Amino acid sequence: MSIERANRIEQEAADWLARRDSASWSDNEQQAFDNWLQASSLNRAEYLRMEHVWEESLRLKALGAGLTSNRPPPAGRWIFSALMSPRTQFPSRPQMLSSIRFRVAAAATILLIAAGAYISAVGIYERGRYSTPVGKVTRIAIADGSHIILNTDSLIRVSLTAKARAVELRRGEAFFEVAKDPLRPFVVTAGSQRVIAVGTEFSVRREGSDAEIVVTEGKVRVEAGGPGSPIPPESLPAGSVAHAGQSGMLVKTEAVAMAEERLSWRNGVLIFHEATLADAAMKFNRFTSHKIVIRDPKVAEMRISGTFKATNSEAFVRLLEHGYPVHAEVTGGETVLESH
């Protein structure tokens, strides 16, 4: 306990935050950061303090309403106009397409994969149907030693045969911990998307005929548009977040730890990093029949960070009312958020 230690911890916490915010954040750095956090509650508390301030600083946007200049207004001048106006404006955010590699099909490659497996299959080891109601997350063990975690309001059909392992995601989202079996690839179908793994961990979320895929371990192959599609199949390593649809696939690569965070629903929590309220509300709404409704575009574009219990959207709404220029109106079976 010393003054030097206190200053050092404060400095380190701020440095970690700035480092995490930079473009080059590697798995090694994540490891070092985790070690630093684990080393002492002093570190953890001080980091939370910096993170809180960083998150709060995003509300500068509310004060900078309508100011699109690249330079901040002179100190003291700009505050009043923004605070005095009854409605705070949130300028819309430019699309961050630069950070995403956008890939569209080029060659017309037709692949016939594993289709024959179903026909020649002899012994059926398991054929089952699993579902979760709204608000529940369930972990299922299937016959080949794999595990599946079903998110809220999801439905899958599992078919294990001597030569193939097939899961059809009919609705919702599922995370797969696939047992190694090189002779029987593990194939997940979601709409017209197919995701193929041997032994690995990944999640698939169905969105109509499209699918969102997050890979946290090993590699999976994705056939966007399903077999026979002109889009060439693509191999995704751990840390990939992909959106596969009819016209192609968008792939984003993140540190594995960040990809893991997207799957925090497995533990019943939702983690947001500067997510729009529209996005956050959509994620909460999957866990409850009492929906959060946002019609006000200003509210939809506000951003939030934090960790929340997935089933406790009331607490989330209370927090918003507390810290944002947002008013919640409960009418019938829904909560409507409006700016004030």
Partner 1 sequence: MDDPLETWFKREVLSQEGALLRYLFRVWPRRDEVTDLRQETYARVLEAAASSRPAQPRAFLFAIARNLMADRIRRERVVSIEAVGDIDELHVLIEEVTPERSNIARQELKRLAAAFDLLPPKCRDVMWLRRVQEKSQKEVATEMGIKETTVEKHVSKAVRLLAKYMLGDSSSGEQTQSTEIAQEGNEHRTRQ
Q: Which is nearer to partner 1, 138 or 312 (CB)?
A: 312
Q: Are 257 and 30 in contact (CB under 8 A)?
A: yes
37, 62, 198, 293: residue in contact with partner 1 (rule CB under 8 A): 62
Buried b or exposed e, range 1-28, using 16+ CB within 10 angstroms:
eeeeeeeebeeebbebbeebeeeebeee
- Stretch of 166-174, 245-253, 322-330, 331-339 lying at the interface with partner 1 (CB under 8 A): 322-330
147, 157, 262, 309: residue in contact with partner 1 (rule CB under 8 A): 309
Site for partner 1 in 288-307 (CB under 8 A): 306-307
E strand or H helix at 47: helix 41-57
176, 186, 287, 324: residue in contact with partner 1 (rule CB under 8 A): 324
CA dist 319 and 313 (Å) reads: 10
Q: Which is nearer to partner 1, 62 or 155 (CB)?
A: 62
Closest CA to 247 of 103, 116, 113: 103
Site for partner 1 in 9-28 (CB under 8 A): 9-11, 14-15, 17-19, 21-23
Binding to partner 1 by residue 66, rule CB under 8 A?
Answer: no
325, 335, 337, 339: residue in contact with partner 1 (rule CB under 8 A): 325
Q: Are 107 and 230 in contact (CB under 8 A)?
A: yes
Q: Which is nearer to partner 1, 121 or 269 (CB)?
A: 269
Binding to partner 1 by residue 67, rule CB under 8 A?
Answer: yes
CA dist 304 and 72 (Å) reads: 22
CA dist 207 and 240 (Å) reads: 18
CA dist 239 and 50 (Å) reads: 26
The residues that touch partner 1, with contacts defined as CB under 8 A, are: 1-3, 5-7, 9-11, 14-15, 17-19, 21-23, 40-42, 44-46, 48-64, 67-68, 70-72, 75-76, 78-79, 82-83, 93-94, 99, 269, 306-309, 311-312, 315, 319, 321-325
